């Protein structure tokens, strides 16, 4: 299928795309030296080893060894083919796709779209949405949503839908070409006891699609139309091959896209809050799927941002949940956490209805620190006019303040606490200091393995001999300087490392295929194994200049190495000749060995 896309178009897409911009949709980066570093999307890690060179337009993970250009990144992240990746990058960058390519590839693209379940969920989601928006079945549900103040734009944005009261999904999917055995475990149906026929799981419900981290629908939550129904108010899809609750955050992909510099993700209790907040203008909301936050979800958030606002319901259960979330998130100390405490027990939805969108946005923008939040709760809890309660309050507050990691924060809140309790500031400061020392001692007693870094794997340069390291350098120069390339050809240099030799050969072929050879373009040209090596080489910090002496040196080292290998071979042959008492052969070999040793010295 690769031949379907003309090389010129691939070049156009590649040269008009910035890999850093593109990868920033998925990963949060920090600049270190020339390159950008972030957490690798392909495995869990705490210290960033995924790096991007903007100059070379490539990525490389120092931990797992993956690497390539923008197309390879997308192929690996979304598990799609090369042509699909080219088209998707083009779409994302608004690069017009030639019309013949569009029709032939999109149909194929759809067929390829990995898992049949994914396709089924997308189709069903479109069906439910259609029923809601344009059919009589959907009218009541649509009115219900509109009456709650939801706009058509939001309904479309979240692709809300309606599941009608009768079975429709099974036949619909069969008609689309799905196999009955795929559908049985899709989570879209329940088996009725009386017969074997699959029945729709969702009936007479407003449907909220739940997407994976890349925006594909993988599950639904269905809400009853009327609150007085006997049915449970919300019904969720069961876990399936494609839906894992603990790895899913509602609206994650869109929230990530909507993150601008210095804007936070906002964590809500439920997906309805996310949608209400979206309508009010807070477009970076996410929610866990009815469970408390899992490590995987925390990791996902961390990949997108370190600024997180917790906005749970303002009632007692909500406050307790906020405390739990703070503990979970703060444990790893990776976030700048802040908290919105909505007044009078409001949840986000009824706060917005009572006070309006602007007031809600102000609440989110003015979110308080976790220490402020904790102090507020403590204040509610204790009567400061009673000395016994006041002492308890001060002790709890000190322990809270001691948890903050900077001296400035500790000082600021010590000051605040002193004013509040009218105790001398020095007394509070001393108490905070000794408490934070105590806490630190406890932390350092944690099991050691928790702090150990991941083992490094597949480091290409680790297993190389000294000569091969020189060859790595030679390849690096070959890709940059035509003169070095010519030098290697002229001297008929043979690479000791076969992979590097293969790269050199491929480079010659690639150069003949294009007017404008680039490393990023070369990456599309070669096999995945060589790709990794090229990228690993490119990410090494090597000087760009060279001298002819350096080249001569590599050449003579290579010749010496070959001679040394030859010498070894001759010695083995000599031993064999001795064993067989072949004196003529012995003599000939001895002469050759003497000659070689002379050359080597």
List contacts with Zn ion (CB under 5 A): 40, 42, 61, 63-64
Task: Note whether 166 and 137 are within 8 A (CB).
Answer: no
Q: How far is the CB of 88 from Zn ion (least distance, A)?
A: 21
CA dihedral 162, 168, 173, 179 (to 10 degrees): 130
CB-wise, 48 or 314, nearer to Zn ion? Answer: 48
- Please state, in angstroms and rounded to a whole number, the distance separating the CA atoms of residues 393 and 398: 8
Q: Collapsing DSSP states into helix, strand and coil, what is residue 426?
A: helix
What minimum distance in Å lies between the beta carbon of 21 and Zn ion? 20
Cβ proximity to Zn ion, 40 vs 341, nearer residue? 40
Closest CA to 163 of 76, 67, 99, 235: 235
Q: DSSP for 154-195? A: HHHHTT-EEE-SS--HHHHHHHTT--HHHHHTSSSEEE-SSS
Nearer to Zn ion, 64 or 484 (CB): 64
Per 3-state DSSP, what percentage of the chain is helix, strand, and coil (rounded to 5)? 55, 10, 30
DSSP state of 25: T
Q: What are phi and psi of 50, to 5 degrees?
A: -90, 120
**Nearer Cβ to Zn ion, position 73 or 132?**
73
Of 187, 170, 188, the residue nearest 179 (C-alpha): 170
Q: Which is nearer to Zn ion, 63 or 119 (CB)?
A: 63
Compare residues 63 and 276 and give the one whose CB is closer to Zn ion: 63
- To Zn ion, the closest distance from the beta carbon of 296 in angstroms equals 16
Shortest approach of Zn ion to residue 49 CB, angstroms? 6
Is residue 92 within a helix (H) or strand (E), and if so which, with residue range? helix 82-92
> Which tokens sit at 374?
């904790």
Comparison of 37 and 546: residue with beta carbon closer to Zn ion: 37
The two three-digit tokens of residue 76, written as one number: 């690996």
Q: What is the Cα gyration radius of the chain?
A: 32
Write a three-state SS string for 551-570: HHHHHHHHHHHHHHHHHHHH
Cα distances (angstroms) measured from residue 280 to each of 150, 342, 347: 10, 15, 14
Q: Which CB sits closer to Zn ion, 75 or 394?
A: 75
Quote the least distance from Cβ 358 to Zn ion, whole Å: 43
The smaller minimum CB distance to Zn ion, of residues 68 and 318, is found at 68
Of the pair 17, 63, the CB lying nearest Zn ion is at 63
What is the rounded CA–CA span in Å between residue 593 and residue 570? 7
CB 52, min distance to Zn ion, A? 12
Give least dist CB 73 to Zn ion, A: 11
3-state secondary structure of 236: strand
- What is the 3-state secondary structure of 38-68? ECCCCCCCCCCCEEEECCCCEEEECCCCCEE
Q: Which residues of 439-450 are buried (b: 16+ CB within 10 A; e: fewer)?
A: eeeeeeeeeeee
Minimal distance in Å, beta carbon 64 to Zn ion? 3
* Cβ atoms of 422 and 411 closer than 8 Å: no
- Residue 64 or 280: the one with the smaller Cβ distance to Zn ion is 64
CB of 208 to Zn ion, least distance (A): 33
Whichever of 394 and 539 has its CB closer to Zn ion, that residue is 539
In angstroms, give the least distance from the CB of 89 to Zn ion. Answer: 21
**Is the CB of 45 or the CB of 561 nearer to Zn ion?**
45
Nearest one of 28, 36, 24 to 336, comparing CA atoms: 28
Angstrom distance (rounded) from CA 564 to CA 601: 11
DSSP letter at 16?
T
Would you give the DSSP letter of residue 233?
Answer: S
DSSP 8-class letter at 43: S
Q: Residue 600: in which H helix or E strand, if any?
A: helix 583-600
Half-sphere exposure of 21 (CA within 13 A, CB side): 7
Residue 78 CB, shortest distance to Zn ion, in Å, is 16
In this complex, which beta carbon is closest to Zn ion, that of residue 42 or of residue 82?
A: 42
CB of 545 to Zn ion, least distance (A): 31
Closest CA to 496 of 520, 525, 470, 461: 470
Least Å distance, CB 61 to Zn ion, is: 3
Q: Give 20 or 470: the residue with its C-beta nearer to Zn ion.
A: 20
Q: Which helix (H) or strand (E) holds 101?
A: helix 99-112
520 is written with which tokens? 């990023």
Distance CA 63, CA 325 (A): 30
The distance of closest approach from Cβ of residue 65 to Zn ion in the complex, given in angstroms and rounded to an integer, is 7
CB of 454 to Zn ion, least distance (A): 9
CA distance 374 to 396: 9
């Amino acid at each position: 299928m690769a031949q379907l896309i003309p090389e010129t178009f691939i070049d156009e897409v590649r040269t008009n795309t910035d890999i850093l911009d593109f990868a920033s949709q998925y990963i949060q980066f920090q600049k270190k030296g020339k390159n950008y570093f972030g957490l690798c999307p392909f495995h869990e890690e705490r210290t960033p080893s995924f790096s991007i060179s903007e100059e070379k337009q490539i990525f490389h993970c120092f931990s797992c060894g993956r690497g390539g250009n923008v197309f390879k990144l997308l192929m690996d992240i979304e598990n799609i083919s090369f042509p699909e990746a080219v088209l998707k990058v083009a779409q994302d960058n608004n690069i017009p796709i030639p019309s013949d390519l569009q029709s032939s590839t999109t149909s194929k693209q759809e067929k390829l779209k990995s898992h049949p379940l994914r396709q089924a969920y997308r189709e069903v989601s479109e069906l439910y949405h259609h029923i809601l928006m344009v059919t009589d079945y959907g009218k009541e549900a649509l009115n219900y949503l509109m009456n709650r103040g939801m706009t058509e734009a939001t309904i479309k944005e979240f692709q809300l839908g309606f599941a009608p009261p009768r079975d429709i999904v099974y036949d619909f999917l069969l008609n689309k070409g799905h196999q009955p055995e795929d559908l049985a475990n899709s989570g879209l149906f329940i088996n009725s006891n009386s017969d074997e026929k699959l029945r729709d799981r969702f009936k007479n419900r407003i449907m909220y699609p739940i997407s994976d981290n890349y925006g594909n629908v993988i599950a639904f939550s269905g809400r009853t139309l009327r609150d007085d129904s006997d049915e449970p108010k919300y019904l969720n899809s069961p876990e399936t091959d494609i839906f894992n609750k603990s790895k899913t955050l509602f609206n994650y992909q869109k929230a990530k896209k909507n993150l601008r510099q210095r804007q936070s993700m906002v964590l809500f209790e439920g997906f309805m809050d996310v949608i209400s907040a979206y309508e009010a203008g807070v477009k970076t909301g996410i929610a866990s799927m009815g469970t408390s936050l899992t490590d995987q979800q925390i990791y996902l958030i961390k990949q997108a941002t370190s600024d997180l606002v917790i906005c749970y319901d303002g009632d007692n259960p909500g406050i307790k949940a906020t405390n739990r979330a703070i503990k979970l998130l703060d444990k790893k100390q990776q976030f700048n956490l802040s908290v919105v405490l909505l007044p009078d027990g409001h949840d986000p939805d009824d706060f917005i209805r009572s006070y309006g969108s602007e007031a809600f946005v102000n609440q989110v923008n003015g979110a308080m620190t976790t220490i402020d939040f904790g102090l507020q709760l403590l204040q509610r809890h204790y009567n400061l006019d009673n000395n016994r309660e006041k002492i308890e309050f001060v002790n709890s507050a000190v322990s809270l303040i001691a948890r903050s990691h900077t001296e400035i924060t500790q000082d600021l809140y010590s000051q605040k606490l002193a004013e509040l309790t009218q105790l001398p500031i020095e007394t509070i400061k001393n108490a905070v200091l000794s408490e934070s020392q105590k806490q630190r001692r406890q932390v350092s007693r944690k099991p050691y393995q928790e702090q150990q870094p991941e083992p490094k794997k597949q480091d290409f340069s680790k297993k190389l001999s000294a000569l091969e390291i020189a060859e790595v350098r030679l390849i690096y120069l070959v890709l940059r300087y035509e003169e070095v390339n010519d030098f290697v050809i002229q001297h008929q240099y043979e690479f000791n490392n076969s992979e590097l030799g293969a790269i050199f050969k491929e480079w010659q072929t690639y150069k003949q295929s294009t007017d404008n050879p680039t490393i990023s373009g070369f990456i599309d040209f070669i096999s995945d194994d060589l790709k990794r090596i090229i990228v690993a080489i490119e990410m090494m910090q090597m000087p760009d200049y060279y001298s002819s002496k350096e080249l001569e040196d590599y050449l003579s080292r290579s010749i010496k190495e070959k001679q040394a290998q030859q010498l070894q071979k001759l010695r083995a042959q000599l031993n064999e000749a001795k064993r067989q008492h072949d004196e003529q052969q012995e003599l000939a070999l001895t002469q050759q060995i003497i000659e070689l040793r002379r050359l080597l010295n």
